[in-house]
Structure 1
Amino acid sequence: MKIGFIGLGSQGGPMAQRLCEAGHDMTLWARRAESLEPFRDGPAHVADSVAALGARCGIVAVCVVDDAGVEAMCADLIPAMAAGGIIIIHATVHPQTCVRLAEQAAARGIALVDAPVSGGGGGATAGTLTVMLGGCADAVATVTPVLRAFAGLIVHLGDVGAGQTAKLINNALMAAHMGLAHHALTAAAAMGVDRQALAALVKVSSGRSFGFDVYARQPDLAAFAHGARLLAKDVRLLGEVTGDTADYAALQGAAQPYLDHVADSHNLQPE
């Protein structure tokens, strides 16, 4: 089956490269011409529009930044794709965005699977991304062999939207871990404990987490400005999904002061 890929940024680009290297018949589209440069001498086709890509491909992966981008791509893809096709949403967006688009796609005989990923550009290049799937079993079974080109772990979590919900929870937990790390190391420094020594200790002790490791290796708050804005967006989206629950309040309470602190250090506002 011909596969299309939209969104060739720092993560989507390596994902598309892995698909090309796996021998799939690929068609690409990107807003920025420079994103296509790494594929210039390869076998992938380049479409001159999203609609043209959709008309050519039976499976189309969308790896853009946000809900508005996903909706814009699907507005062109859904009318262009043939019945029986599948759209894969790799962007991290509101679960209801995927549910709504899946309903529109189903009216034309097209399935939609939400498949946000974790692992970043490095994981995409190495083929070790974690893929969180939401969608019907048949569509998931069809796309899973394709996803193996860049995935180390693929988990089917439920119906459309479940993958996005899982990704938001994962990212909120990451933000909470980083927030706790910030408070722990700041408190330790205030009591005269060497920050670097304590960080090295925790990294091999029971208090360790991936979020702690990421926080501890940042030279200053400024270094995580972009990541903090993305996490702040995901914490906000999770709140829209869960509503004002005690569980969400606990996650947000651990994460938000740190995220706000990073934003304030750059005179930025969380997305």
Structure 2
Amino acid sequence: MTSTDKIRCGFIGLGSQGAPIATRMIAGGFSTTLWARRPESLEPFKGSGAAFASTIAELASNVDHVGLCVVNDTDVIEVCRQLIPALPRGARIAIHSTVNPETVRLIARDAAVQGIDVIDAPVSGGEPAAYAGTLTVMIGGEADAIAKALPVFQTFATLLPHLGEVGAGQNAKLVNNALLAANMAVADHALAAASALGIEKSALMELLAASSGRSFGLEVRGRMPTPQAFHHGGSLLLKDLRLLRDVLGKDPGAVGLWDAAESFLVACTAGAK
């Protein structure tokens, strides 16, 4: 019997990042059960070998490992409230959503009473990396639970740093996203300065890609015709920036990142519905 036979997986949250993660788990040979609030989210998985559960409790009763990639704290809390009582003792929940670290800690404490492990496991890399199996998973949690989850994580990720206790992964993700937003904000100013100097944008981007000023934030901003074209991504980054500010309060690091990134992200989301 292989490790993929031994671990019965579930996944909830089949959005732009969750769907490819679930796809990789299924392709990796894991018995996988899916649940979705909207039935249309399950359509792409027909014929994949995945099982579909009609309720969260039904999914929980048939799995040892549940991946969770829903949008926000409220959704994570709501789903976990239904998962925890129905999961078998010794099972684990991997939270791939980006949420407040304290939310994950509270869920972990509630789960521990039922003998359930919670792994803090937000991801970075986006939809293309998820389909390619090259995501980064920022992990917080108990070493034993993480060791059991690694075969699942390795189907969709290549970098899997263990950063500390539950909550450490979320803290790292918030810092990462705040830095991305700050880099994009600086890149926005740089492109505006270059335009004022009459420098052609495509030639500049080719130059910067091979120069010391390059960054991923610059690449992302360079692909946008205007900041407003990034309204969806900008709204998610603004949410994460605000989470970091809530976590750190008036710490100089939070204030500095907030000041660098806020006006750009607000511009991205201006007029967005």
Same fold by TM-score greater than 0.5: yes
Per-residue Cα deviation, 1:37-56 (whole angstroms, up to 9, x for no partner): 11111211111100111111
Equivalent AA in structure 1 for residue 79 of structure 2: M
Aligned to 1:20: 26
Equivalent AA in structure 1 for residue 204 of structure 2: L
1:3 has 2:9 as partner: yes
When structure 1 is superposed on structure 2, of 193-202 and 20-29 the one drifting more is 193-202
TM value normalised by structure 1: 0.96
Cα offset, 1:195, TM superposition: 3.0
1:228 has 2:218 as partner: no
Cα offset, 1:192, TM superposition: 2.8
The SS at the match of 1:56 is coil
Which of 189, 200, 209 in structure 1 is aligned with 2:206? 200
1:141 has 2:147 as partner: yes
1:36 has 2:42 as partner: yes
Aligned to 1:99: 105
Aligned to 2:4: none
Aligned to 1:66: 72
* 2:229–2:268 CA contact under 8 A, matched in 1: no
Distance in 1 (alpha carbons) for counterparts of 2:134 and 2:155:
9
* 2:228–2:267 CA contact under 8 A, matched in 1: no
Cα offset, 1:221, TM superposition: 2.1
* 1:133–1:157 CA contact under 8 A, matched in 2: yes
| Count of residue pairs brought into register by the alignment | 267
TM value normalised by structure 2: 0.95
Aligned to 1:85: 91
1:255 has 2:256 as partner: no
Cα offset, 1:210, TM superposition: 0.4
* 1:235–1:252 CA contact under 8 A, matched in 2: yes
The SS at the match of 1:84 is coil
Distance in 1 (alpha carbons) for counterparts of 2:48 and 2:102:
37
* 1:185–1:199 CA contact under 8 A, matched in 2: no
Aligned to 2:251: 245
- Taking only the aligned residue pairs, the percentage that are identical comes to 51
* 1:120–1:129 CA contact under 8 A, matched in 2: yes
* 2:232–2:269 CA contact under 8 A, matched in 1: no
Cα offset, 1:9, TM superposition: 1.2
When structure 1 is superposed on structure 2, of 157-166 and 29-38 the one drifting more is 29-38
Structure 2 stretches lacking a partner, 5+ long: 1-6
Aligned to 2:215: 209
Per-residue Cα deviation, 1:31-88 (whole angstroms, up to 9, x for no partner): 1111111111121111110011111111111111110110010010011011111011
Distance in 2 (alpha carbons) for counterparts of 1:268 and 1:223:
10
Structure 1 stretches lacking a partner, 5+ long: none
Which of 51, 54, 63 in structure 2 is aligned with 1:48? 54
Distance in 2 (alpha carbons) for counterparts of 1:179 and 1:171:
12
Aligned to 1:126: 132
The SS at the match of 2:160 is strand
Distance in 1 (alpha carbons) for counterparts of 2:170 and 2:216:
20
* 1:14–1:124 CA contact under 8 A, matched in 2: yes
Q: CA RMSD for the aligned pairs?
A: 1.1
Aligned to 2:3: none
Cα offset, 1:257, TM superposition: 1.3
Distance in 1 (alpha carbons) for counterparts of 2:95 and 2:269:
28
Aligned to 1:181: 187
Cα offset, 1:188, TM superposition: 2.1
